[in-house]
Every structure is written in structure tokens, then in C-alpha cells.
């Protein structure tokens, strides 16, 4: 639903009993961060009060084409231009007929004619009215001849009048999901993205390990953003407390060696590799078979050896994917990031100031500077979810 953030939605409500579901739809849109303006027909106001929808949307409800006060606020042409999308739910048989005939005899039909935004229509009516040849004709003509018009539903089932059949308005949640889907840009359609995320654990003995504070939130947000952008996504994750994002395939690993093995195993299918994991730089030179006992000594020494550099190994491959790394630094951020971009043979690096306690490791917010060979882009502090979307958009633009 994050795709609805700041989206401008006109919700048209016409006069049907399903109008009570529109209140829930407004609530879902608002919860997802959309800006909603409700437009009601006169008949809709017989079913649900404008006051309810005004309270839920936080905006004045529009209903009249001829109200000088409302027109002075946001006139119908301005409203038509303002919208990113126009959803009519519920849409009655009468409204569909008027839409089909190109009438502009109330504010809602006028907006439908005047807007360049796509129009989505969720019908709601008695099953016989839906099946009527006139309604079917109007729906078919609108679908075939007016490309900006799409129908959502109706669902079939028990109706308010007691009939059973097609004509129920889709549930508010389903309409909200479909609305969100219309905004997915699908920038990475057809691409396969592999992402490492979270920390690694380097075992000392059967009960102890060396690790770090990485929460995995940034990598998981990137996996979601890549999936929403249409990519096939594989997440190679160290131990974290996060659920696997929807429609993402996940491989859980513990150590850097296991992460490397999982990364290399399907690398030939990968178009974009994003190394977001906080891989432990070193691991104990050997893992004790039994729990290490404390002796009489006050000190204890550990011999550590370097872990493989996973992302550098990826970027060494002859047909390397577009490779994106992260540089988490506490000082000389950009300088160190640029050095890593070239030493690891990366295409892009996201520099991340982990010295700032408001952002970084365990926080939900972050800020990044994206550096490629000839470009530098600052992404201001925001949620990891939004940053992940911006990163994916930038990667899509840089892809050859």
C-alpha cells in the first residue's frame, strides 16, 4: 500500500446501498497516505452523509457543479486536473449509463469527462440490473472504446435486496489494493535481483559467535521495493527478526561463507546484485568443537582470519550483474565510499553515515548518498521503505 503515499485520489460515490463501504475505502486510502477528495452525487447523499466522508478524508466533500462557493475553492476543472486517479465506488447502473453517453449533468460525470486521469469503476447494483443488456452494452462499450476507463468487479453473492448473483461492490480492501497496484511503475519488470541483508554470525564454538547490530531492515525494504518494481527477487539473509517480504524468495544463512555459497549458486541468473548485508570482516580461525571453557587466565586471545568479500567476488565474475554495494562509515563517508566503488569494481555504492544515531543500523529511517562513476545523488533522510524505492528507481535509470 506504500504506493498510495501522496497519491491524489478522487473517490466518486453514487447512490447505492454499497455506499456504506465507501467510508471504509476512504479510511484505507488515508491510512496508506493518499490525499482523498470525495465527490458525491445527490443520490449518494441519501445513503451516507457528506459529514462522515469529510471527517474521514479530512477534505470538504464536493457534490455540486453549480455551487459558487465550492467552485471558488477548487473548481471542477482544477479538481479534474488535480487527480492522479478517479475511482467511482459504488457505481450505479444509472451512473454507468450516463458515463457511457458522455453526459455531464452533475459534478462526477463532468469530472470523468474533464480528467486525463485513469477512471476505475466499481459497479454495485441488483443482479438483474447488472445483467440487463443495456448495462452490459454500456460496460462493454466503455471498456472497449474509452481506454482510460476500467471496471473493477462486480463481485457475485448475496445482495442487499435478497437476490443472489453478480452485482455486489468489491470489498473496500480489494479496491484499495487494486488502486495501489495501478501506481506500481514496474521499472524492473523481467529483471532478477539478488540482495544480501542482515548480519552474519561467525561461530567461535557451538554456543558463541561474533556478529554485529545490523537489523536487516534496509535490505528487506530493498527486496520489497524491487519486488514491487516488477523484479524477481531472491533475498539471501543473515539471522534477523523480520518476516520474508511478499513474493520474495528467501534463503537464510548464518556465516559469511554460507552467504557466499548461496550468492554464487544462482549468480548466473542475476541481473542486479545488491550487497546490503553487514558481513563480518573476520571470523575465528577455527571453530572449537566443544564449548570453550574459561581457564584461570584473565585474558583470552582469539585468532581471526579475513572473511571472503562477497560483493567483490560477485563483481569479479566475467558476466557480472549490475553490482550495488553499501558503505557504512562513521567518518570520511564519501571518500571511503568512492574508494570502495573502485576497489570492489561496483557500479553503484550507497554511502550510509552510521555515526549518526538517528539513522542507520537499527533505525527505521536512513539517508544515503548514491555514488556511481559519473554521478552523485543525495537521498535525504526518510523511511527505509521510501529510500529503498528511490534506490530502486535510481538503479533502474542507471541500468544499461
Residues near ligand C5P (CB under 6 A) are 196, 256, 275-277, 279, 307, 309-311, 325-327, 340
Place of cell 530502486: 392
Q: Cα–Cα distance between 95 and 87 in angstroms, integer?
A: 13
Instruction: Give least dist CB 275 to ligand C5P, A.
Output: 3
Residues designated catalytic: 161
- When the beta carbons of 38 and 263 are compared against ligand C5P, the nearer one is 263
Whether the bond into 215 is cis, omega within 30 of 0: no
Q: Cα–Cα distance between 263 and 257 in angstroms, integer?
A: 10
Residue 259 contacts residue 310 (beta carbons within 8 Å): yes
Cell of 114: 474533464
- When the beta carbons of 20 and 282 are compared against ligand C5P, the nearer one is 282
- When the beta carbons of 255 and 385 are compared against ligand C5P, the nearer one is 255
- When the beta carbons of 37 and 394 are compared against ligand C5P, the nearer one is 394
- When the beta carbons of 9 and 315 are compared against ligand C5P, the nearer one is 315
- When the beta carbons of 19 and 276 are compared against ligand C5P, the nearer one is 276
Q: Cα–Cα distance between 25 and 235 in angstroms, integer?
A: 33
Q: Cα–Cα distance between 149 and 120 in angstroms, integer?
A: 6
Instruction: Give least dist CB 340 to ligand C5P, A.
Output: 6
Instruction: Give least dist CB 189 to ligand C5P, A.
Output: 25
Q: Cα–Cα distance between 274 and 235 in angstroms, integer?
A: 10
Instruction: Give least dist CB 261 to ligand C5P, A.
Output: 13
Instruction: Give least dist CB 325 to ligand C5P, A.
Output: 3
- When the beta carbons of 57 and 323 are compared against ligand C5P, the nearer one is 323
Instruction: Give least dist CB 331 to ligand C5P, A.
Output: 13
Cell of 224: 520489497
Residue 284 contacts residue 202 (beta carbons within 8 Å): yes
For residue 343, the tally of other CB atoms under 10 A from its CB is: 11
Task: With CA atoms as reference, report the closest residue to 307 among 329, 287, 279.
Answer: 279
Instruction: Give least dist CB 336 to ligand C5P, A.
Output: 8
Amino acid at each position: 500500500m506504500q504506493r498510495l503515499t501522496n497519491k491524489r485520489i478522487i473517490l466518486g460515490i453514487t447512490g447505492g446501498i454499497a455506499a456504506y463501504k465507501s467510508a471504509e475505502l476512504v479510511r484505507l486510502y488515508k491510512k496508506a497516505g493518499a490525499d482523498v477528495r470525495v465527490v458525491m452525487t445527490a443520490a449518494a447523499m441519501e445513503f451516507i452523509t457528506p459529514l462522515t466522508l469529510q471527517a474521514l478524508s479530512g477534505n470538504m466533500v464536493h457534490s455540486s457543479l453549480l455551487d459558487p462557493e465550492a467552485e471558488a475553492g477548487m473548481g471542477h476543472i482544477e479538481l479534474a486536473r488535480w487527480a492522479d486517479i478517479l475511482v467511482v465506488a459504488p457505481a450505479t447502473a444509472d451512473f454507468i449509463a450516463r458515463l457511457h453517453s458522455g453526459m455531464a449533468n452533475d459534478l462526477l460525470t463532468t469530472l470523468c469527462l474533464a480528467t486525463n486521469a485513469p477512471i476505475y469503476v466499481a459497479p454495485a447494483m441488483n443482479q438483474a440490473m447488472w445483467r440487463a443488456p443495456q448495462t452490459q452494452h454500456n460496460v462493454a462499450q466503455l471498456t472497449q472504446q474509452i481506454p482510460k476507463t476500467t471496471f473493477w468487479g462486480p463481485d457475485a453473492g448475496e445482495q442487499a435486496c435478497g437476490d443472489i448473483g453478480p452485482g455486489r461492490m468489491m470489498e473496500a480492501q480489494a479496491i484499495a489494493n487494486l488502486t495501489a497496484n495501478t501506481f506500481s511503475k514496474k521499472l524492473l519488470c523481467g529483471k532478477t535481483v539478488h540482495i544480501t541483508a542482515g548480519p552474519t554470525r561467525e561461530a567461535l564454538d557451538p554456543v558463541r559467535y561474533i556478529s554485529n547490530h545490523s537489523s536487516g531492515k534496509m535490505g528487506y525494504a530493498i527486496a520489497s521495493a524491487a519486488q514491487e518494481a516488477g523484479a524477481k527477487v531472491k533475498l539471501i539473509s543473515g539471522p534477523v527478526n523480520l518476516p520474508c517480504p511478499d513474493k520474495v524468495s528467501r534463503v537464510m544463512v548464518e556465516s559469511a561463507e554460507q552467504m557466499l555459497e548461496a550468492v554464487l549458486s544462482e549468480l548466473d541468473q542475476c541481473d542486479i546484485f545488491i550487497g546490503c548485508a553487514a558481513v563480518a570482516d573476520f571470523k575465528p580461525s577455527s571453530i572449537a568443537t566443544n564449548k570453550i571453557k574459561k581457564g584461570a587466565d584473565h585474558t583470552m586471545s582469539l585468532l581471526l582470519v579475513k572473511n571472503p568479500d562477497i560483493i567483490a567476488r560477485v563483481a569479479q565474475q566475467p558476466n557480472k550483474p549490475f553490482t550495488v554495494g553499501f558503505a557504512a562509515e562513521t567518518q570520511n563517508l564519501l571518500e571511503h565510499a568512492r574508494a570502495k566503488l573502485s576497489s570492489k569494481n561496483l557500479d553503484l555504492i550507497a554511502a550510509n553515515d552510521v555515526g549518526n544515531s538517528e539513522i542507520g543500523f537499527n533505525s527505521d529511517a536512513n539517508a544515503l548518498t548514491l555514488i556511481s562513476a559519473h554521478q552523485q545523488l543525495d537521498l535525504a533522510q526518510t523511511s527505509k521503505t521510501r529510500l529503498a524505492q528511490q534506490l530502486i528507481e535510481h538503479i533502474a535509470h542507471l541500468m544499461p
